Chain A
């Protein structure tokens, strides 16, 4: 489904149906890329700015997209680069998270044997303690359910390093949850 959509976006763009290509691109990826960005920068306003820049770069670069990688890993790579540029530019960027303004924990989504709201809150706090790149690996693997080979294309890191990184991230989260 995703590959079909990607091929359709590229072919629509190549035959000059830019409006349709853009619509399909937006409907397929804006949410996924938003969450990918938001997970790292946490603030909605920052995520909104970065997402805008991301789509502008994607659209400008689509003409030169050669298909050497999959479209969606290329899109995530652009978004990731935008996130890292943002972090680099905003050195004062800190993970001071005001939980009440950022999160909306839904208590009805938890299994019966767990205090869902509290555990979700703890999980978010645990994820927030991870360094940005590790958090990105965690997001792509855990939430996006990407394969290591795909994450490797996105982040330009070897699969072995990614596996170690993810394993470390999960361990840190576990420790945080147990100790809190």
Chain B
């Protein structure tokens, strides 16, 4: 039966039987390998999931950064003048070195309780006995200039 079919097809193909079947089209090298990778990347469910995860992490990061930026901005915007004597904010600093009216510290922790006009800084008793007009502080992450005089 199969031989019969082959015979019919050979007859059907006529002159084509004398021509070898070959593929004459030009094609870019590695096309199929690249195409396969491209489609698998596009359709692969695992990649889709990981893309979703990445997007979720990115959104969370953006939200967190926005909140952090808002807090930092808030601190600077509401940075009070020294006219009032009421304590409305407290800033605690870890002092690592103090020399000639210049303070270096590892980190700054700012906590806002109530924002009004004034800012009072409580610094460790280590420097109580010193008097100075201007204090500059530095941190790795935040530059925080104290422009006004503080009561120590």
| Interfacial residues, chain A to chain B (CB-CB below 8 A) | 18-19, 22-23, 26-27, 30-31, 34-35, 38, 44, 48, 51-52, 55-56, 59, 101-106, 109-111, 114, 116, 119-121, 123-124, 142-143, 166-167, 170-171, 173-174, 177-178
| Interfacial residues, chain B to chain A (CB-CB below 8 A) | 12-16, 18-28, 31-32, 35-36, 38-40, 42-46
- Choose among A26, A59, A142 the residue that contacts B13 (Cβ–Cβ < 8 A): A142
* A-B Cβ contacts below 8 A, count: 87
Instruction: List the B side residues contacting A142 at CB < 8 Å.
Output: 13, 16, 21
- Choose among B26, B32, B44 the residue that contacts A18 (Cβ–Cβ < 8 A): B44
Give the residue name and chain of the B residue nearest to A55 (CB): B39
Q: A18-B45, A38-B25, A56-B43 are in contact. Are A167 and B36 (CB under 8 A)?
A: no
Q: A103-B24, A170-B13 are in contact. Are A31 and B43 (CB under 8 A)?
A: no
- Choose among B20, B23, B35, B44 the residue that contacts A30 (Cβ–Cβ < 8 A): B35
Q: How far is the CA of A30 from the CA of B44 in the complex (A)?
A: 16
Q: How far is the CA of A153 from the CA of B44 in the complex (A)?
A: 29
Give the residue name and chain of the A residue nearest to B36 (CB): A26
Give the residue name and chain of the B residue nearest to A35 (CB): B23
Instruction: List the A side residues contacting B23 at CB < 8 Å.
Output: 35
A120-B24, A123-B16, A170-B13 known, 9 other contacts, Cβ within 8 Å: A26-B39, A27-B36, A31-B32, A44-B27, A48-B35, A55-B43, A102-B25, A124-B24, A143-B21
Most buried by A among B25, B31, B45: B25
* Chain B nearest CB, measured from A107 CB (Å): 11
Q: How far is the CA of A42 from the CA of B26 in the complex (A)?
A: 10
- Choose among B16, B18, B45 the residue that contacts A170 (Cβ–Cβ < 8 A): B16
B32 and A166 contact, CB distance less than 8 A: no
Can you list 14 A-B pairs, Cβ within 8 angstroms, ordered by A?
A: A18-B44, A26-B40, A34-B32, A34-B35, A38-B25, A44-B28, A111-B18, A111-B20, A120-B19, A124-B24, A142-B16, A170-B14, A174-B14, A174-B16
